């Protein structure tokens, strides 16, 4: 993804593209998987944790990334689809490989609709499957 494309993308979501934000976004896209704050921090040594953190929060608030809590102990971030508004219709299964620790969006697997008992309302959901990925099998 070119820097230009990234800037367009962020602008289209009303986020001002800064050097840091572009870098964080590009890293997420290029990795093709969900990354934690610590993962990102490592990838570029010289950048402040809090800056990355705030970039991610901004992205999250503007439907640029969504979070995945895969039970590994740290929240991970993955890029949203273009048209994502992070509501029920955009929810999908996430796969956490217990061998390599990779977490992947299974966008082809929407979260199945569950009929809750009377009185419960449904805002959001996380469906994490733990297992071994093809790479590690």
Partner DNA sequence: TAAGTTAGTGCAACACTATTGCATAGTTTA
Partner DNA sequence: TAAACTATGCAATAGTGTTGCACTAACTTA
Strand ranges across the sheet with 35-36: 35-36, 76-79, 65-68
| Site pattern 34..53 for its own copies (x: CB under 8 A) | --------------------
Q: Which of residues 1-40 bind Mn ion (CB under 5 A)?
A: none
| 57 lies in the binding site for Zn ion (CB under 5 A) | no
Give CA–CA dist 101/5, Å, rounded.
Answer: 29
Give 55's DSSP letter: H
**Under rule CB under 8 A, residue 132 binds its own copies:** yes
Phi, psi of 16 (to 5 degrees): -70, 125
119 binds, among its own copies, Mn ion, DNA, none (CB under 5 to 8 A by kind): its own copies
Is residue 66 within 8 A of residue 78, CB to CB? The reply is: yes
Question: Which stretches of the chain bind Zn ion, using CB under 5 A?
Answer: 97, 99-100, 102, 133, 135-136
**Which residues would be at the binding site for DNA (CB under 7 A)?**
15-16, 18-21, 36-38, 47-51, 53-55, 58, 73-75
Binding site for Mn ion (CB under 5 A): 78, 105
């Amino acid at each position: 993804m070119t820097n230009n494309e990234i800037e367009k993308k962020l602008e289209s979501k009303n986020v001002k593209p800064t050097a840091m934000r572009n870098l964080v976004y590009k890293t997420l896209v290029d990795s093709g998987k969900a990354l934690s704050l610590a993962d990102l921090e490592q990838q570029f040594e010289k950048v402040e944790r809090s800056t990355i953190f705030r970039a991610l929060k901004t992205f999250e608030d503007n439907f640029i990334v969504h979070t995945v809590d895969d039970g590994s102990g740290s929240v991970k971030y993955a890029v949203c689809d273009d048209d994502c508004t992070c509501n029920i219709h955009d929810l999908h299964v996430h796969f956490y490989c217990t061998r390599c620790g990779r977490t992947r969006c299974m966008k082809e697997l929407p979260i199945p609709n569950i009929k809750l008992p009377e009185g419960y309302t449904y805002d959001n959901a996380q469906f994490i499957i733990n297992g071994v990925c093809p790479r590690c099998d």
